[in-house]
Amino acid sequence: MSEITDEQMLEMLTTTKAYTLMVLRQGPNYDAPGRDQIVWEHGRRNFELRADGKLAIVCPVFDDSPLCGIGVFDATAVQVAEIMEGDPGVRAGVFEYEVHPVRGFPGSTLPA
């Protein structure tokens, strides 16, 4: 593992930026008829948010937990809550969400 000094850590910490983490969970209507089409439109919206530069990272969760996904937004928590209130899955009760202010390193990416 690479060795990082205290001085290097302090310098790198000055380069962080505020983001918002959104956690998506199953809502009360998760098993409702027509859910697949609603989830499809939710996905389309995610693609649009990515294309617009608002949703930097989106990761659906594929296990048996009630967790459905996470997203890292380049927006404030208030802005992300407004975005999520317009999500078709949230509006239909298929999903519920929570938002959390976080900090990260601009330019961080998922490994290819």
Is residue 96 within 8 Å of residue 19, measured between CB atoms? Answer: no
Say if 41 falls within a structural domain: yes
Instruction: Provide the domain count of the chain.
Output: 1
C-alpha angle with apex 40: 86 to 80, nearest 5 degrees? Answer: 30
pTM here is: 0.91
> 54-89 pLDDT, tens per residue?
999 999 999 999 999 999 999 999 999 999 999 999
Say if 108 falls within a structural domain: no
Q: Name 85's Cβ contacts closer than 8 Å, sequence gap at least 6.
A: 91
Say if 40 falls within a structural domain: yes
- Which residues constitute the domain of residue 92? 17-103
Taking all residues of the chain, what is their mean pLDDT, rounded to a whole number? 97
Say if 72 falls within a structural domain: yes
Say if 87 falls within a structural domain: yes
- CATH number of domain containing 23: 3.30.70.1060
Rounded Cα gap, residues 24 and 26, in angstroms: 7
What is the pLDDT, as a whole number, of residue 13? 96
How many Cα atoms sit within 13 Å of 32 on the Cβ side? 16
> 12-41 pLDDT, tens per residue?
999 999 999 999 999 999 999 999 999 999
Rounded Cα gap, residues 8 and 21, in angstroms: 26
